[in-house]
Structure 1
Amino acid sequence: MSMDAQRHRRDRLRAWWAHRQGLDGALMGAPPAEVLARTGWARSVGGSGPYLGLRARCGASREDMDAAVARVDIHELPSARGCAYVLPAADYALGLTVGAHAPEAEARQAAKHLGVTPAELDGLCEAVRGALGDVPLDPAKIKAATGDAVRGLGPEGKKRGLSTTLPLALGLLQARGRIRRVPVSGRLDQQRYGYVAWDLDLGGRTPETARAELARRYFDWAAPASLAHFRWFSGCTVAAAKAAVAGLGLVDVGEGLLMPPGLVDAFEAYAVPDEPSYALLAGTDGIHLLHRDLGRIIEPADAEREFGGKRLGGLADAPAHIIVDRGRLVGLWEYDVDAAEVVWRVFDAALRDDAALRAAVTATESFVRDELGDARAFSLDSPKARVPRVAELRG
């Protein structure tokens, strides 16, 4: 393949991924739940990622998104790999089922090393569920309400990150759809929670059928993607991943990238838009994290650039929030709380004068300043911790 053909393929792949991710304006005005159903679950780490991602795709305000959380149209739940994602209501049962292995494994380890029997945990689960209603209770109030049912696990438990048996029960109950963890402030970018009773029907999925259902959704969101990309997202072993995709009839469109047959014709006919489409997103946005293969969205020349003393092409994740244009990573940004402004840098200096890019920066700056207050990458990403990144971007 010639250099021009390689460049054209890279551009088309990136633009197609951005198109499927709704970063071309196609989903503007859609409800947050519909956006998540069509473009994929939003990774939630106590940062601004879900807000930035949904706003870029559908134009929703923070108030719109918080209202969707309050209506339980969307919700943060432990799901793929046991990690927290913001999901649409249609996927709650699937997400909990594919994530259930994490609290179950923790319970097995507690039985093996800390003497916490299944019978003890079952009793505690029933006590916790009985203590909860519609008014959120934080863990301290749940512990007080359940009394002796919660047991301290001593120094050995503390070594394993478990002071008491309560977190084990909360994890199992949430995975079973019997309780729901809700943010105290109603916001997705903080990590203070209470718990309420819930009665979610998980639908009787087995782990195998759940993985197959997840694979179908994943390749609709992220194709073309490799089996390795799916394994990263799902946490599946090689054998489990192969079994999960076996019934999808995936087509190899080159370089091991797989696509559902129903998308192949549209992909082959797709043309890269002539006009730029800029979006300022979190580094954890699905345009990157569904594959977690940063090289897909970086030009080879930009991969040689450094940030924080590290070569971009050698990183698993972007070292700051990202600026993308038609799926290509064109720059990095952060929010300076003291100055109340977005600080940004693009790899191609000529782009700094692009009116569309400046408009995207200004709009994001207003959104963060007026609606979010900050743009943390994750819960512990304080303004102080961000100072070196901001300084490098200014430099």
Structure 2
Amino acid sequence: MTPTAQSVPIPAARSLTAERLRAWAWHRQGLDGSLAGCTAEQVFARAGWARSIGGANPYLTLFARAGIRREQVDADIQTHRILELPTARGCTYVLGRQDFDWALKLGRDAAETTFKVLGRLGVDRGEIALLEEQVVRALAEASGPMDPRQLKEQLGDSVRNLGEDGKKKGASTTLPTALGILQAHGRIRRVPANGRLDQQRYAYELWNLGPSPLDDDAARAELVRSYLGWTGGATFKQSQWFTGFSVAQGKAALAAVDAVEIHTAVATAGGGTLWMLPDDVGRLAAFEEPAGEQIQLLAGSDSLMLLRRNAADLLAEDDRDRDVLAPQALQADLPDHPILDRGRIIGLWQYDPGQERIVSWLFDGATQAVTRRIDEIQAWIRDDLGDFRAFSLDSPAGRQPRIDRLAAAAVAESAAAG
């Protein structure tokens, strides 16, 4: 039986220091080696869905936690063990097949919302419904997946051009809305055109995924249960950002999973109160921080930071005055990819494909463990990916100013230290 809030051993607030909370989140994310040898599905179930924005984050998410190489990830996509799907807030994540049906259910409102834009441009729902059926028919008759250009050519005048007004509103034609609705309902799925997640070219194929047995309330509760498990605890505001739920929906979901409210001795990025699953409260009370170094290089959009958008919490107090955080979104985001030790950001990095090397800035210099991990990730990027794109439009040329800035910061840090 799930413990009630009254029976859970609540850790003393004074024991929940910044260092302990960082190490706890690190552990819950499986970055301490506890996911070594797991499958991609198991990693996503434990650490959370990997944000996919046409970048390499899903690959590094799996390599950092379980040593899974790109070839295996791409094979898992081909066999539909994992897929990139629109879910919470309508955003796309890579997730395991155990979550496909209810995760898609959470993204349907966002897909339908795009129709409101078309409605203001004179498109009625019947026109989109007809286009949806024509897309399904075209894919059924095709010899393989079709990309949007091929579908547009096949469907001809059934795809309406919405002119300049449509372009201004981000809807050049009616096709993307039809594709989004079909995908949100599991009738079609989007697949990487060349089999790779880090090059944002997509095609579509038929799917016909069965409906989720969960109703809307149960699906929201399942997301909150998963989210609190992935993070090891989050503020209400952080959970709202990730889920996109209203205040009433968020509170109802927390109640449905018997979430426990605890207070910390430190003010987190979202306040000093965390909501946790009952079993995790007891685990946190017994949790011991690791004594030795545990070094990881992660993407800036890794779940450790993205799920709670709390990069500031992962910096030591002495490092918060450095030029580390991006001047945006309440300073939640990083301008570069982080290097971490047991949940604390100790440096930043970028990949220079021209030199086939990682350029890094270590705040306090590199230990042997840091140097070894940088070399390992550098070799993995070179062998598996060829480059490390943060997002679909990331390019070596666009990245060069950041690379130069990191190199200059490293030189300045070295000079100051010695």
Matched, 1:240 2:242: no
TM-score (norm 1): 0.94
Asked whether the 8 Å contact 1:294–1:318 carries over to 2, the reply is yes
Aligned residue for 2:291, secondary structure, equals: coil
Residues 215-244 of structure 1: CA deviation (Å, up to 9, x unaligned): 111111112111111001111122221122
Contact between 1:333 and 1:345, CA under 8 Å: does it hold in 2?
Answer: yes
Q: Cα 1:355–1:6, aligned 2, differ >3 Å: closer, same or farther? A: farther
**Post-superposition offset of 1:8:** 6.7
Q: Deviations over 1:305-326 (max 9, x none)?
A: 1149x67996220110011111
> Is 1:290 matched with 2:278?
no
Select between 265-274 and 249-258 the one with higher mean Cα deviation.
Answer: 249-258
Residue 259 of structure 1 aligns with which residue? 276
Of 33, 40, 49, the residue aligned with 2:48 is: 40
Aligned counterpart, 1:328: 344
Change (3 A) 1:82 1:314: closer
- Distance, in Å, in 1 between the alignment partners of 2:285 and 2:15 is 16
Change (3 A) 1:313 1:89: closer
1:347-358 aligned at under 5 Å gives the runs: 347-349=363-365, 352=366, 354-358=367-371
Residues 303, 312 of structure 1: 8 Å contact kept: no
Letter in 2 for 1:259: M
> Quick one: distance in 2 between partners of 1:312 and 1:7?
31
Counterpart contact for 2:346–2:364, Cα < 8 Å: yes
The number of residues matched between the two structures is 386
Q: Which residue of 1 aligns with 2:131?
A: 124
After superposition, give the CA deviation of every residue in 1:352-391 in whole Å (9 maximum; x if it has no partner): 1x11111100000001111101111111111111111111
- Name the counterpart of 1:273: 290
**Cα distance between partner residues in 2 of 1:329 and 1:94:** 34
Tell me, in whole angstroms, the C-alpha distance in 2 between the residues paired with 1:272 and 1:385: 39
Q: What residue in structure 1 maps to residue 98 of structure 2?
A: 90
The percentage of counterpart residues that share the same residue type is 45
1:170 is matched with which residue: 175, 179, 194? 179
Could you tell me which residue of structure 2 aligns to residue 22 of structure 1?
Answer: 30
1:24-71 Cα distance to aligned partner (Å, 9 max, x none): 011111111110011100011111111111100000011111111111
- Structure 2 distance, partners of 1:312, 1:127, is 43
Q: Secondary structure at the match of 2:58?
A: helix
Paired with 1:168 and 1:50, the residues of 2 have a C-alpha distance of 26
2:335 alignment counterpart: 319
Please give the alpha-carbon distance, in whole angstroms, between the structure 1 residues aligned to 2:324 and 2:243. 29
In 1, Cα distance between equivalents of 2:60 and 2:33: 14
In the alignment, the residues of structure 1 paired with residue 46 and residue 391 of structure 2 have an alpha-carbon distance, to the nearest angstrom, of 24
- Compute the TM-score of the two structures, normalised by the length of structure 2: 0.89
Gaps of 5+ in 2: 1-12, 264-271, 409-418
1:385 aligns with 2:398: yes
Q: CA deviation at 1:343?
A: 0.7
Asked whether the 8 Å contact 2:105–2:212 carries over to 1, the reply is: no
Q: Is the 8 A contact 1:302 1:312 kept in 2?
A: no
User: CA RMSD, aligned part only?
Assistant: 1.8
8 Å contact kept, 1:153–1:165: yes
Residues 322 and 235 (structure 1 numbering): CA distance in 2 closer, same or farther, change over 3 Å? Answer: same
Counterpart of 1:226 in structure 2 is 235
The CA deviation at 1:209 is 2.5
1:341 counterpart letter in structure 2: R
Task: Return the offset for 1:6.
Answer: 6.5
**8 Å Cα contact 1:303-1:313 kept in structure 2:** no
Which sections of structure 1, spanning at least 5 residues, go unmatched? none
